[in-house]
Structure 1
């Protein structure tokens, strides 16, 4: 299935650098790695959950085709 939302969402390297600098100013260098890890774990769990839902839908479609 095609991705409906582009991975980068049209954000260029300059915008990413600006976001990084602003985050560094707001949260500080000690807190930033913790926030990055938490965001990564959340994204991983979200992807896992959506893949599970997609597999369930695929299984249901296969069952209805067999009947």
Structure 2
């Protein structure tokens, strides 16, 4: 479980970095391409949902 815990931590960190970039770009292009901006925001929201699930998995792995 130690290996999985390490992997989950890595995946979460990596995902959070990407999610932040999606949000940054959504803001940058909001005026020029509002539809694309909204799609990026929607994607970021879904990634945050996935991150919450991975965080839950990590908590459970740590208590096994």
The alignment's TM-score, normalised by the length of structure 2, stands at 0.48
The higher radius of gyration belongs to: 1
The alignment's TM-score, normalised by the length of structure 1, stands at 0.47
User: Which structure dedicates a bigger proportion of its chain to helix?
Assistant: 2
Q: Which has the higher contact order (CA 8 A, sep 6+)?
A: 2
